[in-house]
Amino acid sequence: MSENEVKLVKAFTKDPAQGNPAGVVHDADDLSDNQMQEIAKTLGFSESAFVLKSNKADFRVRFFAIKQEVDFCGHATVATFHSLMERKAIDIGNKGSVTVTQETKAGILPVTCFSDGKIMMTQGRPEFGEIENNRLLIANLLGIKEEDLGETPIQTVSTVIPKIIISVRSLEILQKVKPDLTGISKYCQEHSSKGFYLFTTETLDNNSDFATRYFNPLVGINEDPATGVAAGPLACYADKYLFNGSKKQFVVEQGFDMNASSKIYVDITSDVMVGGYAVSYDARSINI
């Protein structure tokens, strides 16, 4: 049995009482897959990150949800690189920003760390996938009426991992959603989507563009306070269906219904860049 120190970080916030928590384990090269999975399960966060050496990038990062390893995780990336900056493994010095690379199961992806603490990860170009025409099915899975859905298509979009993007007509409807978690799991097993991402243009904060909620029970995430790998697809979806290319920078709010308010920043001016701030709030030792 070995003792492993886990840094606890809240991503997409500067407030340790809010945001999306992730565990970050540094120097994880000696841990087995089973040990990483056990640590993630013990922590109980939607994802935890494990930092290893890489011969292809500056860092190798593996992400484990409660039930299984996932190819990539947005909030755990922000948490990881915040922690790396704190450890001085990334040193910005007098520069305004530094871009490094991380090797993940989704590929080698750049991460830009700014001197003010903001972290932006570069994702892939958007891939627009399946359109779900059975709107009543989706409404039933969300516990709302078909007419509560927005007019834009229900479509799977990916910038790293495919998410089904679903618009609803108001913040009130978004807040009253009661997801059928078993049904959503079954749907995701049968389709390419890795989770349901709901949004509305009605927001709590006037500085936000979208209010969102995310459900991916298939990997143990009944609801996520902040989902960076879904915010990128949402921005690309909005660029196509709502703004016709006229808007390229977005602020996404999430987690407000979970007492874990989060702010995600997305810039699709050239590349798809998604990120935000983070704050370390604790550390734990876990014996595995």
Cite the active site residues.
47
Q: Please classify residue 119 by burial: count the beta carbons closer than 10 Å to its beta carbon, then call 0-12 exposed, 13-18 middle and 19+ buried.
A: buried
**8 Å CB contact between 249 and 267:** yes
User: What are the contacts of 88-96 at 24+ separation with CB within 8 A?
Assistant: 89/26, 89/59
- CA quadruple 13, 43, 104, 60: dihedral positive or negative? positive
Could you tell me the two tokens for 105? 């199961």
Q: What residues are paired with 61 via a beta bridge?
A: 51
For residue 240, the one-letter residue type is: K
DSSP reduced 3-state for 22: strand
**8 Å CB contact between 243 and 251:** no
